[in-house]
Amino acid sequence: MEDVVIKIDNVYKKYRLGTIGGGTLTADLQSWWARVRGKDDPNIKIGSRGYSKNATFMALSGINLEVRKGDILGIIGANGAGKSTMLKILSRVTAPTKGNIYVKGRISSMLEVGTGFNLEMTGRENIYLNGAILGMSKTEVDRKINEIIEFSECAQFIDTPVKRYSSGMYVKLAFAVSAHLDSEILVMDEVLAVGDIKFQQKCLGKMGDVANQEKRTVLYVSHNMNTIRQLCNRCVVLDKGKIIYDGDVEDAIQFYVGELGKMSLVNNLDCKERSRGFIPRLRALELKILDKEDMLFKQQEKIKLIINWKPFDDIDDVYVRIVIKYCDTSPVGVSTTIKPVHAKRGEVCETKLIFDISTLASGKYYVDLYFYRIDGFGGIDNYDAIGEAFSFEVVNDGLNCNKLTWYHNAWGHNVFSPIEILN
């Protein structure tokens, strides 16, 4: 219990839906006067009964969470799950409706970089201004100013008004200030979404240092699973204002992604959304997995499936290609038919396919399905393109890699055939 720095105790946040009041004093007085006389409210929409004040929305409903010192806690969840609301309450921008949050140490928030930058002031002046807004004293900034300027890579322009800065420089300077805060707890909301890749990596490295070496606590919200994976050592998944998962980062991401795409044996492809840029000469209708009861595959197993599709023309030169993606949507590899499939115009075709997944490491995967033709120059004309046609999970059967726990982050997604010892 010693090292718990944030304790969120059953926190609720309620928002009122629709407009609040009439917006003007006169409208509110009108409504009030009408109610006093027992008349109908002149500012209410016809048909809606009573006062609309009852329509509410629970952005957070009963959050309980303890964060320990040195935790780098990632927070993931779909849009509207309550991530930002949680950070807003933590950074005291708005108050919770119910429940308390106990905090040990100073909280600084980086909800959006460059908040409070003044365009007319120079970079140096803005460092002081932004530092002060974030809670640094002047002496603190004085002590760190050289470090900040160096980190921001803007030394050359530091005495130029920031309105002459490029957007990249602006962001770099803003992040540099926030990164040098002394507070024990840092709250960040997708701040790394901007800046070039080199700088993004630098920021992630800095944040990692902050937590690992200086033993500070970081709360980080992002939709970017890769940065979450790179930075965090613990992760919670929010859904509809509740914490639905709390624990290991990899498991949390798997859990979150699993929530998105449910696996099934029969997949209706006709109603799936198509990716753009293909010539519709045929349409895939349905995809069924054969000889299986669930979508868990051992590494030695092969996936056998049948696709129903309907050509709009006579077809004799079309191939089938599948792209396998890991559950965080990073691509793993491609497999394609060597021989073309044939069909006559108008009749529904059934094509049976089988493919080998023995090189895939354990984990969840998506499959994109393409029908295509090779043009004369080795290029591709897609005739149908279905993103995430189905998904499956590979379980480790221990034949290739000794039942190792697979670190997708470091090892990629492929297991090659085992190394043989010759002597």
Question: Does 212 contact other proteins by CB under 8 A?
Answer: no
Please pick, from the candidates 104, 304, 310, 373, the single residue that binds other proteins as defined by CB under 8 A: 104
Please pick, from the candidates 36, 37, 45, 95, the single residue that binds other proteins as defined by CB under 8 A: 95
Please pick, from the candidates 67, 81, 86, 90, the single residue that binds other proteins as defined by CB under 8 A: 90
Question: Does 56 contact other proteins by CB under 8 A?
Answer: no
Question: How many residues belong to the site for other proteins (CB under 8 A)?
Answer: 51
Q: How far is the CB of 224 from other proteins (least distance, A)?
A: 20
> Measured from the CB atom, is 75 or 249 closer to other proteins?
75
Q: Rounded distance, CA 416 to CA 394, Å?
A: 15
> Measured from the CB atom, is 96 or 195 closer to other proteins?
96
CB 46 within 8 A of CB 86: no
**Tokens, residue 366:** 């998506």
170 CB burial (10 A radius; 0-12, 13-18, 19+): buried
Question: Does 16 contact other proteins by CB under 8 A?
Answer: yes
CB 252 within 8 A of CB 75: no
Question: Does 164 contact other proteins by CB under 8 A?
Answer: no
Please pick, from the candidates 23, 42, 340, 346, the single residue that binds other proteins as defined by CB under 8 A: 23
Please pick, from the candidates 56, 94, 166, 268, the single residue that binds other proteins as defined by CB under 8 A: 94
Please pick, from the candidates 3, 18, 21, 214, the single residue that binds other proteins as defined by CB under 8 A: 21
User: Which of 50-58, 121-129, 233-241, 269-277 is the region at the interface with other proteins (rule: CB under 8 A)?
Assistant: 121-129
Question: Does 25 contact other proteins by CB under 8 A?
Answer: yes
- 70 Cα distance to chain centroid: 23
125 by DSSP, 3-state: which?
helix
Please pick, from the candidates 63, 76, 89, 322, the single residue that binds other proteins as defined by CB under 8 A: 89
CB 253 within 8 A of CB 228: yes
DSSP conformation class of 82: S
User: Which of 97-105, 207-215, 378-386, 390-398 is the region at the interface with other proteins (rule: CB under 8 A)?
Assistant: 97-105
Question: Does 143 contact other proteins by CB under 8 A?
Answer: no
128 CB burial (10 A radius; 0-12, 13-18, 19+): middle
Q: How far is the CB of 236 from other proteins (least distance, A)?
A: 18
Q: How far is the CB of 121 from other proteins (least distance, A)?
A: 5
User: Which of 133-141, 304-312, 318-326, 361-369 is the region at the interface with other proteins (rule: CB under 8 A)?
Assistant: 133-141
CB 207 within 8 A of CB 113: no
Please pick, from the candidates 74, 77, 82, 96, the single residue that binds other proteins as defined by CB under 8 A: 96
DSSP conformation class of 261: S
Question: Does 118 contact other proteins by CB under 8 A?
Answer: yes
CB 283 within 8 A of CB 384: yes
Please pick, from the candidates 34, 78, 132, 244, the single residue that binds other proteins as defined by CB under 8 A: 132
Cβ neighbours of residue 242 closer than 8 Å, sequence gap 6 or more:
61, 62, 63, 82
Q: Rounded distance, CA 299 to CA 139, Å?
A: 60
Strand partners for 355? 303
Number of other residues whose CB lies within 10 A of the CB of residue 50: 8
> Measured from the CB atom, is 187 or 386 closer to other proteins?
187
Q: How far is the CB of 12 from other proteins (least distance, A)?
A: 8
Q: How far is the CB of 105 from other proteins (least distance, A)?
A: 6
Question: Does 98 contact other proteins by CB under 8 A?
Answer: yes
Q: How far is the CB of 211 from other proteins (least distance, A)?
A: 19
**Tokens, residue 88:** 């807003």
Q: What is the CA radius of gyration of the chain?
A: 28
Cβ neighbours of residue 26 closer than 8 Å, sequence gap 6 or more:
none
> Measured from the CB atom, is 163 or 342 closer to other proteins?
163
Q: How far is the CB of 96 from other proteins (least distance, A)?
A: 5
**Tokens, residue 16:** 């009122």
Strands 72-77 and 217-221: parallel
Question: Does 33 contact other proteins by CB under 8 A?
Answer: no
User: Which of 88-96, 258-266, 334-342, 403-411 is the region at the interface with other proteins (rule: CB under 8 A)?
Assistant: 88-96
**Tokens, residue 341:** 């499939």
Single-letter amino acid code for the residue at 225: M
37 by DSSP, 3-state: which?
coil
**Tokens, residue 381:** 């004309």
Question: Does 28 contact other proteins by CB under 8 A?
Answer: yes
Q: Which of 400, 415, 309, 297 is nearest to 355 (CA)?
A: 297
Residues contributing to the site for other proteins (CB under 8 A)? 1, 4, 7, 15-16, 20-21, 23-26, 28, 88-107, 109, 111-112, 115-116, 118, 120-121, 125, 128-129, 132-138, 161
